[in-house]
């Protein structure tokens, strides 16, 4: 049972997730699951995953509106990526529910470390500001979309920490455009994953509501800060460092939990 204190912590967590969604695109979604588990105190990791997926999808949609107004979103690329990724997200979420919750969090953290390292290595690459959907990048968008969607559904997050690198790898778009465009896919992936978990009764609706409310406030602030950090690779550096910090904490906490289960 979630009490008033935990609902308040859920709202504050939503502010942080909304801020990072606006700042670095879907990368903010990597915070949702660990915040649900370790700060708010959701005991069932699968409920935390399902609730986080719903909250992230809603906050991503709000952030998408802000980035679209700023002209950051490359809609054709985002829609191709998202539509192919939804299929992968549905398959991945079905598989993820059959895996032990603590093991899932450990795998999630290890994947985050690998992606963070790749982003840090490419932080000086500015990208192409005039990216358009074409025959050269459409197959790559579909392939990266399917793969990213599968990981997104499996780990129960919006998948933006994979979507942003996936968009850059498949189209060479600028980081600020990848941030805005990623929210198209984050919204779609999150809804697909949340729908699967909702069908299994694995969403805390009250907690999701306060999380979304907090995320609305955070998203408005994060979008503004994103544009100030876009030049010189600073946004990529922030993205990578955020991933490293959260992954390290998740490995520490999961290690404690698994050690406690050892006879």
What is the distance between the alpha carbons of residues 242 and 204, in angstroms, rounded to a whole number? 26
Cα separation, 133 vs 190, whole angstroms: 24
- How large a percentage of the chain has pLDDT more than 90? 28
Return the pLDDT at 29.
62
| Separation of alpha carbons 235 and 60, rounded Å | 18
Q: What is the pLDDT of residues 218-247, one digit of tens each?
A: 988 988 888 788 766 788 888 888 778 878
* Mean pLDDT to the nearest integer, 193-208: 91
Half-sphere exposure of 61 (CA within 13 A, CB side): 12
To the nearest 10°, report the CA torsion of 55, 59, 61, 66: 180
Greater model confidence, 101 or 70: 70
Please name the residues in contact with 81: beta carbons below 8 A apart, sequence gap of 6 or more. Answer: 141, 142, 144, 145, 148, 163, 166, 167, 170, 181, 184, 185
**Among the residues of 70-204, which ranges form H helices?**
75-96, 101-121, 138-155, 160-171, 175-199
Ordered by start, the domain boundaries in the chain are: 4-261
Confidence band (pLDDT; 50, 70, 90) for 1?
very low
What's the mean per-residue pLDDT of the chain?
A: 84
* Residue predicted with more confidence, 16 or 254: 16
* Residues 127-140, mean pLDDT to the nearest whole number: 90
């Amino acid at each position: 049972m979630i009490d008033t204190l935990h609902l308040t912590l859920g709202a504050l967590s939503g502010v942080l997730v909304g801020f990072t969604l606006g700042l670095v695109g879907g990368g903010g979604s990597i915070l949702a699951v660990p915040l649900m588990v370790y700060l708010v105190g959701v005991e069932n990791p699968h409920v935390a995953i399902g609730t986080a997926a719903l909250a992230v999808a809603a906050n991503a949609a709000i952030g998408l509106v802000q980035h679209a107004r700023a002209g950051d979103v490359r809609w054709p690329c985002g829609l191709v990526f998202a539509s192919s990724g939804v299929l992968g997200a549905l398959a991945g979420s079905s598989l993820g529910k059959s895996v032990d919750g603590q093991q899932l969090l450990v795998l999630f953290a290890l994947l985050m470390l690998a992606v963070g390292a790749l982003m840090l290595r490419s932080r000086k690459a500015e990208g192409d500001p005039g990216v358009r959907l074409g025959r050269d990048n459409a197959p790559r968008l579909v392939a990266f979309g399917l793969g990213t969607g599968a990981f997104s559904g499996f780990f129960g997050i919006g998948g933006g920490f994979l979507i942003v690198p996936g968009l850059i790898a498949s189209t060479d778009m600028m980081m600020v455009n990848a941030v805005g465009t990623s929210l198209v896919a984050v919204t779609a992936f999150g809804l697909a994953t949340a729908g699967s978990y909702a069908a299994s009764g694995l969403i805390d609706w009250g907690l999701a509501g306060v999380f979304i409310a907090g995320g609305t406030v955070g998203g408005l602030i994060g979008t503004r800060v994103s544009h100030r950090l876009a030049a010189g690779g600073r946004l990529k550096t922030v993205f990578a460092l955020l991933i490293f910090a959260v992954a390290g904490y998740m490995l520490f906490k999961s290690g404690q939990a698994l050690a406690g289960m050892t006879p």
